Amino acid sequence: MKILDPTAVRRWARLAADALGRARAEIDALNVFPVADGDTGTNLHLTMLSAAEAVESLPDDVDTAVVWQTLSYGALVGARGNSGVIVSQALRGLAEVLKDGHDLRAGLLRAAVLAREAVARPVEGTVLSVLESAARAVQDLDGDLHEVARQAAGEARAALRRTPDQLDVLARSGVVDAGGAGAAIVLETLAAVITDSYADHYDVPPPTARVAPMTEVGAGYEVMYLLDADDRAVAGLREELDAMGDSLVVVGGEGLWNVHVHVAEAGPAVEAGLRAGRPHRIKITYLAERTHRGSAGRGVVAVAAGDGIAALFEECGAVVVRRAPGARPALPALLAAIRQAGSEVAVLPNDEGVGAVAVAAAEIAREDGVAVSVLPTKATVQGLAALAVHDPLRRFDDDVVAMTDAASQTRHGHVTVADREAFTSAGVCRPGDVLGMIEGDVAVIGDTLERVSTMIVDRMVAGGGELVTLVTGAEAPAGLAACVEEHLRRTRPDVDLVVYDGEQGGYPLLIGVE
């Protein structure tokens, strides 16, 4: 790719929005500056989503300048939160340069300059530092688009790791800057589109300590609005709002501005906007109320019986409660996880025997004002399916319905080894026999894990399905999943396969079919 044409810009906007959407819970968990309100990831996702939807609404034959201008406008009107507003201004800087050419170096520099100018009191160790480091790193390159994009993305990631050395509150909290993490993903996805080298996941460094929520004392209000006003009026508005509060960011131009500020009283901040022009889309949030609900507001608690399974759920943003194979988690542990997860919580028991404990914990949490729904997930693969469709931007009830539907459409099975003689629905089994289970019933008795595993998968796929999920256990022999994969490739090439290392005990293989 030699230039960022309209197709590439559209592809980048959507890729960045989707990547931020997948990472938003992880970024939310980093959010300690300027206040620990736990929404930076969500705000950045919504900002980039607004930009993506704006360019996707354009006709296919529009020129490059229109696409960049629309991207900038979409980000401006959809910007959320402090970091979202700053990133929208960075996108405006890129648009100003790239709408007329393809000098990405100049575009990145302009993006960093406009982002810093938007902030009344810039602080190092934030998204501003990440953007500036990325821009400086490419200024001496020869202008090759691929190399500039790769270098900028790499430096953004390196600058992100340095943010705790620049900002004390990050170091004390054991986190990198949340806004910087989002900006790094935006630049990494840009490099992916330019170099045609895509990643399945963009890493977000996890907290190394528990981030404490902000207390109510001195919390005040977050005030945001769009403002129709001329440049001269906005200059006076900046001074007036800067004297009222902090975290002031004003971005935009050509008559349309996005204003963000944290103040002790919301009314005067809105009145200042009225004196400057016409404020609209006014949004006022009481910060203490928002942070008291939990770091993410909406959350998921998942019960896991293996280290690999736990890691899978954690990567998807769930608060994990671990249990030993065949055992139930302690009620206090489940209750603490629900309280940590947020004010609206979906609980994934992932085992029929865990459901009763989960319901009891939910009842106690409801007395504290937490909205809790215990989903009927009877197996790990059903929990993974439910979490895959979880969307904290939906209404809570709608989200629970979607997750429940995904779980119910996932048939589950597993393979294990009998430890005693018993009568089963498939006949008598003896110690050492390999048992293939479907929906809790023995369907196959055999002599090898490989043979029984392929037989169980065949039976489950025969009932319909497009995706097979395999979760290998701690006792799974090497090559078990590969054996099933080869069998499916020969017999059902139309079926997709996903394999995870769950490290669970007692069950060499867990199987899900959707």
Residues of the chain with CATH 1.25.40.340: 6-195
The pTM (predicted TM-score) of the whole model is 0.56
The strand pair at 441-446 and 434-438 is best described as: antiparallel
pLDDT of residue 37: 63
pLDDT at 322: 87
The topology under which CATH files domain 411-513 is Hypothetical Protein Tm841; Chain: A;domain 3 (3.30.1180)
| Crossing angle between the packed helical segments 104-118 and 81-98, to the nearest 10 degrees | 140
221-292: what CATH class? Answer: alpha beta
pLDDT of residue 348: 95
Q: Are 339 and 362 in contact, with CB atoms under 8 Å apart?
A: no
- Cα-trace Rg, the chain: 26
- Classify domain 298-408 at the CATH class level: alpha beta
pLDDT at residue 375, as a whole number: 94
**Above 90 in pLDDT, residue 463?**
no
Cβ neighbours of residue 479 under 8 Å, at least 6 residues apart? 450
Residue 471: both structure tokens together: 């979760």
Q: Which CATH class is domain 6-195?
A: mainly alpha
Q: In what order do the strands lie in the sheet with 441-446?
A: 441-446, 434-438, 411-417, 509-513, 467-472, 496-501
Per-residue pLDDT of 164-202, as tens digits, reads 999 888 888 888 999 999 999 999 999 999 998 888 778
Tokens (6 digits) for 477: 């022999």
Residue 324: Cβ-neighbour burial (10 angstroms; 0-12, 13-18, 19+): exposed
Higher pLDDT, 29 or 482: 482
Residues 247-274, mean pLDDT to the nearest whole number: 87
Q: For 61-72, how does the pLDDT look when each residue is reduced to its tens digit (9 = 90+)?
A: 898 999 999 999
**Which helix H or strand E contains 179, and what residues bound it?**
helix 178-195
With a cut of 80, say whether residue 326 has pLDDT above it.
no
